[in-house]
Amino acid sequence: MKLTECSFYRSGRDVNFSVFSDDVCRVHHLRSIPLPLGGDVDVYSVEPGEKSDWIVVRQTEDGKHELRWFVRKGRSFEESGRNLPPAVRAEVGERFPQLIPRHPAMVA
């Protein structure tokens, strides 16, 4: 999926997202969706910086995190999923180590 086709949601503490990139990105508020029991869900889009090569969006829902990886392909950004280039993963790990899970050392 392309980044331009994605929407990201925020609703208080329960649903939120954070954007990480190798260049400054813009986040645009698209609309608010009123909830029947009160409150709103805000809908956003992410616009990459001119020099961005990758963007990681950490989505949080009910305390659980999910990472969505987007990598530049020409003029667009496509979601990488499990096909993340090793160089991108290494750069993200250097800049934002909290995004890369650390596995405990194996005990022999």
15 assigned to some structural domain: yes
Instruction: State the pLDDT at residue 107.
Output: 47
65 assigned to some structural domain: yes
Instruction: State the pLDDT at residue 105.
Output: 52
- pLDDT (tens digit, 9 = 90+) per residue, 12-33? 878 999 999 999 999 999 999 9
104 assigned to some structural domain: no
Q: Rounded CA gap, 60 and 7, in Å?
A: 14
Instruction: State the pLDDT at residue 81.
Output: 81
Instruction: State the pLDDT at residue 103.
Output: 59
52 assigned to some structural domain: yes
Task: Count up the domains in the chain and report the number.
Answer: 1
> What range defines the domain where residue 50 resides?
3-99
- pLDDT (tens digit, 9 = 90+) per residue, 30-89? 999 998 888 899 999 999 999 999 999 999 998 899 999 999 999 999 999 878 899 999
108 assigned to some structural domain: no
91 assigned to some structural domain: yes
Instruction: State the pLDDT at residue 106.
Output: 46
Predicted TM-score (pTM) of this structure:
0.87
107 assigned to some structural domain: no
Residue predicted with more confidence, 70 or 104: 70
69: Cβ contacts below 8 Å, ≥ 6 apart: 54, 55, 56, 79, 80, 81, 84, 88
Q: What is the dihedral of CA 51, 70, 99, 96, to 10 degrees?
A: 0
Distance of CA 70 to the CA centre of its chain: 8
CATH number of the domain within which 53 lies: 2.60.40
